[in-house]
Amino acid sequence: MQRIGYVILYIALALVALFQVFPIIWLFMFSLKDNQEIFSGSPFALPAEFRWENYVTVWEGGIGGYFWNSIWITGVAIILTVLFASMATFAITRMQWKWNKLVLGLFMVGLMIPIHSSIIPLFNMFLNVNLIDNPWSIVITYTAYNLPITIMILLGFYYTLPREIEEAAIIDGCSIHRMFFRIILPMTTPIMSTTVIINMIYNWNEFVFVNTFISSDEYKTLTVGIQNFIGQYMTDWGAIGATLIISFLPILLAFLFFSNKVVEGISSSAVKG
């Protein structure tokens, strides 16, 4: 009976997985068709000819610039967020100072601030410092908004790190900065992988801030720039499908690459907490 139960469970999980993966496969097949196949043939049929030129068309049309902007803005924001959050969490959990609980509370307040309520104040602030239509306004915004959730994820792990390691490092003459970068930071790699993928998903898919603060096509990210391609290739649905595949492929690859680390980080944080 137990074996039959496992078989039923695996069949159910396989069906759920197929249900989840099918839209991606369908969109990929869609992106390799021309308009005639899309509108006259079966929507579930394989392409009669794999039209890879759809990807070449949209890439040469300028989507490569938006793609690069998304990569470097997302990457820089992730590095700054994880680094600053790790420093703040280390100071709050591992160091004794008067206002650490107050500072932690202020960071947690950031979780309760709706994103859209801050657009106008942020726009005015960036306008006063000449950062409107500047990609660094997006990097700063992403970093600030992701700090609270990143710190919250790191807290449980940092609270339970053995203090004997820090004491041994201090006895050996290790400075506080060297101890953080050479000992503490490498120990938190699993939980940092979790924060990296969470930050990447938010930064890569974010639309409102880029659409508000950036007006030049030169600095637009993929989520905003893709609107231009939908208008430009309105009659070429295969090219639109190729654009959509390119837009979410990095997130899919990143999740597949970091999935084991994400599960490990969540599990270790839960057990340690």
Q: What is the pLDDT of residue 239?
A: 82
User: CB-hemisphere CA count at 13 Å for 154?
Assistant: 32
What are the tens digits of pLDDT across the range 103-123? 999 998 888 888 778 899 999
What are the tens digits of pLDDT across the range 140-150? 999 999 999 99
Q: Spell out the residues 6+ positions from residue 230 whose beta carbon is closer than 8 angstroms to its own.
A: 240, 243
> For the whole model, what pTM was predicted?
0.83
Q: What is the pLDDT of residue 159?
A: 86
CATH superfamily placement of domain 65-225+254-272: MetI-like (1.10.3720.10)
Mean predicted confidence (pLDDT) in 217-231: 80
Between 4 and 137, residue with greater pLDDT:
137
Mean predicted confidence (pLDDT) in 247-257: 82
What are the tens digits of pLDDT across the range 50-102? 888 888 888 887 788 889 999 999 999 999 999 999 999 999 988 888 888 89
In angstroms, the CA 158 to CA 94 distance is 8
What are the tens digits of pLDDT across the range 151-210? 998 998 888 888 888 888 888 888 888 888 988 888 888 888 889 888 998 999 898 999
What proportion of the chain, given as a percentage, has pLDDT over 70?
A: 92
Q: What is the pLDDT of residue 271?
A: 46
Mean predicted confidence (pLDDT) in 221-232: 75
Whether the predicted pLDDT of 273 surpasses 80: no
Whether the predicted pLDDT of 265 surpasses 80: no
Q: What is the pLDDT of residue 72?
A: 94
- State the pLDDT confidence band at 230, using cuts at 50, 70 and 90: low
